[in-house]
């Protein structure tokens, strides 16, 4: 009798461990599906699954939604990597979005400068989140 209880208890423990591992894998897969945003010294950055052209289009749409006036666009190619820089102004900030080829996608960095020595990371993060959702 005791042996049967032990076997049943072991089966429950093993099943629970397997179920937990499956849930952890599902949570990990869900987390990987969303773009992770990293706050840098002056703004926010993330890798997106879209190419540079699509990411630039998304950044322009985000500028419109945030009432940012586009003031300058630069396109550069260095070491075979495509790079776009969008600059704009909001009432009290200067916004720069840098989009660089990264693998099959793009790295997007947003900086919201308030003065020569201060940056608004929360505003940069909000813009970046919108760029990510528009590029998807």
* pLDDT at residue 89 is higher than 90: yes
Same-domain pairing of 20 and 82: no
Domain span including residue 63: 37-135
Same-domain pairing of 107 and 48: yes
* pLDDT at residue 97 is higher than 60: yes
Q: Which residue carries 């699954």 as its tokens?
A: 49
Distance between CA 125 and CA 111 in Å, rounded?
A: 9
> Tell me: the pLDDT tens digits for 41-68?
999 999 999 999 999 999 999 999 999 9
Same-domain pairing of 72 and 117: yes
Q: Please give the helix or strand (H or E) that residue 81 lies within, else none.
A: strand 81-90
Confidence of residue 80 (pLDDT cuts 50, 70, 90): confident
Per-residue burial over 15-52, b = 16 or more CB atoms within 10 Å of its CB, e = otherwise: eeeeeeeeeeeeeeeeeeeebebeeeebbbbbebebbb
Joined together, the tokens standing for residue 120 give: 């608004």
How many structural domains compose the chain?
A: 2
Confidence of residue 126 (pLDDT cuts 50, 70, 90): very high
pLDDT top residue among 20 and 74: 74
């Amino acid at each position: 009798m005791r042996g049967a209880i032990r076997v049943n208890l072991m089966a429950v423990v093993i099943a629970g461990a397997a179920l937990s591992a499956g849930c952890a894998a599902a949570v990990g897969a869900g987390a990987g599906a969303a773009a992770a945003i990293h706050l840098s010294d002056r703004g926010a950055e993330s890798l997106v699954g879209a190419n540079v052209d699509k990411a630039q289009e998304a950044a322009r749409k985000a500028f419109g939604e945030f009432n940012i006036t586009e003031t300058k666009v630069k396109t550069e190619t260095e070491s075979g990597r495509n790079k776009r820089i969008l600059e704009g102004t909001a009432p009290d900030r200067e916004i720069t979005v840098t989009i660089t080829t990264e693998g099959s996608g793009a790295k997007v960095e947003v900086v919201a400068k308030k003065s020569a020595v201060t940056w608004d990371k929360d505003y940069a993060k909000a813009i970046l989140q919108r760029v990510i959702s528009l590029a998807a």
